[in-house]
Amino acid sequence: MRLAEIEAISLNVGITVFAAYVFFIIYDLAKKSNAGKFGTAVLFFALGLGLAAFLVKTVVVYMIEG
């Protein structure tokens, strides 16, 4: 296995773990603040948009590069 393949796999695993951790932080924030169902949904939507923008940017750059 070449170094580039290891780096690509590590990047994908790292981004997945990072996304899961961000969602855990949002869930924990909602639980500690007693946000309720609607408040939790708003938190996931609002704070999740930042993560979604990061992921969309990665996909767009990949598509542009070919």
Answer yes or no: pTM beyond 0.85: no
Q: How confident is the model at residue 16, as a pLDDT?
A: 86
Nearest to 57 by CA among 9, 15, 3: 15
Q: How confident is the model at residue 66, as a pLDDT?
A: 77
Q: Where are the domains of the chain?
A: 3-65
> CA angle 31-20-38, nearest 5°?
35
Intervals of the chain under pLDDT 50? none
